[in-house]
Amino acid sequence: MIWNQHIECMSREDMEALQLRRLQEMVDRIYYNVPFYRRKLQEVGFMPGDIRHLSDLSKLPFTTKQDLRDNYPFGIFAVPMSEVVRVHASSGTTGKPTVVGYSRKDLDNWAEVTARCLYMANTDRQGVVQVAYGYGLFTGGLGIHGGAERIGASVIPMSGGNTEKQLMLMEDFGTTLLGCTPSYAMHMAEVLEQSGMDRSRFKIKYGVFGAEPWSERMRKQIEDRWQIKAYDIYGLSEIMGPGVANDCDARKGLHIHEDHFYPEIIDPATEEVLPEGKKGELVFTTFTKEAFPLLRYRTRDITALHRETCDCGRTLVRMDKITGRTDDMLIIRGVNVFPTQVESVLLEFGEAAPHYQLIVEREGTLDKLTIEVELSAALFSDTVTGLSKLEARIRRRIDSVLGISADIRLVEPGRVPRFEGKSKRVIDKREI
């Protein structure tokens, strides 16, 4: 099913014409309305009228997460707060979140692209959509919610957690589509299997899963255990939230809603734009966003783009499933975690941060984070109670700064492996 035949199956020529017009409008808007961008554009000698071709975009400066931090909270907003009808936020690297704003039109466009995603997942107004993404500052819950309402499905706004109740209502209300993180879908499947509930009484047929990386192997597991079709939904709050891209039944990558979000793939080292099909860092320019437009935003996600028409009939550009990141950000239980956050906590316990390592494992269906901390002479006390208290103090601080719990393990000096003088900060043992 295709929600917006006109856009999703538009010829490449027409799409590029639309994109060029929207890019020109967007650059005008940010030049005149966002001092941050005016400075950036002036630095490279660019004036709004200078964009004649889509390829001119590659001459424009990038936006990074650091830029968002430097302009916390509303510095990059392009409209006055009276036009902003909602804000969302995601965890940042240093305690301050990354804040994003939406105008009424932005929410409208968000619902449009998410509606397209749900249609790709074979869900229309007959559907009963259970949203088990978190509601709140996180974009997941309200993002899917808006798209589901747009197509006229019946929405069950569960938010995350409370798995037994999720399953009970899923059965009683006749949920046909589940939206949540893939790891939570696995957890729910496990609880369902143990509950003795009768799967044949459930009406669920589809799931849209995202907000964390997952593999084809995991997709197969979810599909086998749930006996549903699982779709990959991609998004990031900086660009919009869930609904930036989604895969269709052809499973040849995720269709990016490129009439709103223009993707480029760059070499993260040279910052050169790479040709179609080459793997590199995904960069987005938002064409239509009013409140929080971003120019060439570096997602740090690694993927490749493909433009030939899909078996499903859509012409929208496709991106491969995300295969990694150019930075060391981890997504654990849907929460962004940066090793530097751990470092900032450890600095509170001494003059120099001890060597440390993050180890992420998947135990059953849930992610588990262990942080190994090398004990230093300054922190060493020769009683076990003293050391256990130290562990507990570190654990409490990590919980509060990262927003997820971690096991703290004190290790002997020299136990964290070093590479070229730098510690290897992260070991990700999850097979995802």
Partner 1 sequence: MLKQVSLFLENKPGRLAHVCRVMAQEDINIRALSIADTTDFGVLRLIVDNPDLAEERLKARGFLVSITDVVGIKVDDRPGGLADALDQLEKEGISVEYMYAFLGKCGNQAMVILRLNDNAKGIEIIKKCNMEFMTPEEVYQI
Q: Using CB under 8 A as the criterion, which residues of the chain lie in contact with partner 1 when the complex forms?
A: 375-377, 380, 382-384, 387-388, 409-415
Q: Which is nearer to partner 1, 152 or 413 (CB)?
A: 413
Amino acid at 221: Q
Q: Which is nearer to partner 1, 80 or 417 (CB)?
A: 417
The least CB distance from residue 404 to partner 1, in Å, is 20
Q: Which is nearer to partner 1, 5 or 388 (CB)?
A: 388
Q: Which is nearer to partner 1, 397 or 415 (CB)?
A: 415
What are all long-range contacts of 377-381, with beta carbons under 8 Å and residues at least 24 apart? Answer: 378/350, 378/351, 379/349, 379/350, 379/354
Q: Which is nearer to partner 1, 196 or 414 (CB)?
A: 414
Could you tell me the CA-to-CA distances from 116 to 41, 74, 107, 229, 238 in Å, in that order?
A: 33, 29, 14, 17, 20
Q: Which is nearer to partner 1, 32 or 380 (CB)?
A: 380
The least CB distance from residue 382 to partner 1, in Å, is 4
In sequence order, what are the beta bridge partners of 273?
266
The least CB distance from residue 353 to partner 1, in Å, is 17
Q: Alpha helices, DSSP H only, in 332-412? A: 339-347, 384-402
* Residue of 17, 16, 79, 24 whose CA lies nearest to 48: 24
Amino acid at 38: R
The least CB distance from residue 400 to partner 1, in Å, is 22
CA distance 308 to 295: 25
CA distance 173 to 159: 16
The least CB distance from residue 26 to partner 1, in Å, is 54
CA distance 38 to 25: 14
Could you tell me the CA-to-CA distances from 197 to 5, 177, 380 in Å, in that order?
A: 40, 18, 52
The least CB distance from residue 355 to partner 1, in Å, is 12
Q: Which is nearer to partner 1, 128 or 375 (CB)?
A: 375
The least CB distance from residue 145 to partner 1, in Å, is 43
Q: Is the dihedral of CA 31, 32, 36, 38 positive or negative?
A: positive
